[in-house]
Amino acid sequence: MSPEISWDSLIEPVGVKRFEVEYFGQKPLHLKQRFSPAMGLESLEQWSEVLRGQSVTGREHRGFVTIDPDANTAQRVAPDLEALLRNGGPLIIDGINKINPGVQALALALARGLGSFVGVNAYISPHRKDALDLHHDDHDVIVLQLHGSKLWTLGSRLVRGVASSKFFRVDQAAAKTQAIEKDQFKTLETKAGDLLYLPRGLHHRATSNGPISIHLSFGIRRPTGLDFVDLMMQRLMADTKTREYLPRLSPEDGDEAVRAYLDYVLQRIGTLAEDPALRSEFLQQYRAKFDGMIDGMIDGG
């Protein structure tokens, strides 16, 4: 896979504009043979060397690696991935782009092409194993299959408006139960060189369909309206009066003092909401934190 690969070339059969209008945030897309998987990440032997010095932890019949770019690779042995997969199940590697320039370049190409923030995980799964149970994500996902094949079980309905925010949480268990009861599921297979796009909120499960399956998962994020609300809250909290105690309740006059205080808070919210400077600041944060950005840039990338 060439480090110069672009989002335009990956999505060429559909086109960037059509993808944004018809697919992004709406429905899955499977494109076959979109790239040549030659990144040095297609075998367990290659991954053992890549993960030399990294710490592998196990829980719930899975292995997890959070990439440490400063890990000592010279004095530590490479992990025995065959034994890990045999005894611990699938392996999930978070942040592989932090130590692999090829994956970093690809993540950056996707981030710039999609105008979004991109993070990268890798999944190595033995035969008939699921790295994760049926679930939905609060971000969009682009899957690139590097080795082997994987069977994807995809729902037909989206959990709308899922977001990563301190103001909002979705009950994953309840959403999963509802999906099992009401969704119509279909199955498709990704093979080496395939691309699969999954919109946020789509229930899915991936199962290895051969001895070993390896794929990269690019998480795609854009800000939501709640991010703008968060910025507004930060400005509101800078106002000393909004941090004061509310007046004592006074039923005898209809809690007049409390109502007056709430009127002041609402007036401050309205002023902030109409302030063009707040919109400009939010747009600056959008560009600085999301537009074409990736997690853990390395080598000045």
Tens-digit pLDDT profile for residues 164-186: 766 667 777 888 888 888 889 99
Assess if residue 294 is contained within a domain. no
pTM for this prediction: 0.89
The verdict on residue 1 lying in a domain is: no
Distance of CA 45 to the CA centre of its chain: 27
Q: What is the mean pLDDT of residues 186-208?
A: 95
Residues 138, 271, single domain; the answer is no
Contacts of 60 (CB under 8 A, 6+ apart): none
Domain boundary among 186, 202, 222: 222
Same domain, 137 and 68: yes
Number of domains in the chain: 2
- Same domain for 189 and 251, yes or no, is no
- Of 201, 222, 243, the domain-final residue: 222
Enclosing domain of residue 250: 226-288
Average pLDDT score over residue span 137-161: 94
Last residue of a domain, one of 222, 255, 273: 222
297 domain-assigned: no
**Pair (277, 214) in one structural domain:** no
Give the max Cα distance, the chain: 78
Q: Measured between alpha carbons, how far is 34 from 223 in angstroms, rounded to an integer?
A: 28
| Residues 23 and 29: beta-carbon distance below 8 Å | yes
Distances 173 to 170, 224, 252 between C-alpha atoms, Å = 9, 23, 46
> The dihedral of CA 54, 59, 62, 66: what is its sign?
negative
Q: Is 61 exposed, middle or buried (0-12, 13-18, 19+ CB in 10 A)?
A: exposed
Q: What is the CATH number of the domain that holds 140?
A: 2.60.120.650
